[in-house]
Structure 1
Amino acid sequence: MTENQKDAYRYLLYHFLIEIRTIPVPNQPQQNDNKRIAFHSYYAGSIAYQLHNLALAAATDFVGFDELNFWNGLQQFSANNPSINLDHYQRIFNSRLAELGCSSYPPDVSKR
């Protein structure tokens, strides 16, 4: 794995944290919509479940990280949970690679 790919994966983790920062906090009266809060909490938990191994990989410089398995997992999760679409993570990853002067990456999950 190249240093640019490692950078893009770390950026993906950062973007996830930015996303969950926007989840409404129950004690803010203007956002006290329990159904919306419940959905956002479910969304954040679902993403965290999908990305926890990525966080470990980033902490260990991606030793033993299986990229194909990672992207397949996101694709499968999105297919099984239509209300939670994680497809934008591949776009974020590829956008970061483009910023670094690289072509789009992740492995083609359709060839598995």
Structure 2
Amino acid sequence: MSGDFERDLTKRVWTDDAFAEQVESNPAEALRSMGVEVPAGVKVRVVTQRRDTIYFTIPPARVRQSPPPTAPINQMDLWSSKGLFIWVVPVAAKFKLLALRNAARKEEDRS
């Protein structure tokens, strides 16, 4: 890997059809095949953008079937990596995302 997790993931999805299918059906296993372990308690969903589709990511305001929140709505961070790759992540999960990205960099250091 190059040490740029987003670039490596994107390139692999673009060039390896079997991996592209796996990254949508079982992203944790697909990332593991790249040497990246998803931190415990983190769910990952990789969405390959389609040219004919518009995507809306709605941040969670409450757990379903629960009363409306009395505190401020759960904050989300929007990150961009070199204008190509977008992360939308709850603030509470930000450090788990950083751990995932650092795992990719450490894998490169071992190579």
TM-score for the superposition, normalised by structure 1: 0.31
TM-score for the superposition, normalised by structure 2: 0.31
Higher relative strand content: 2
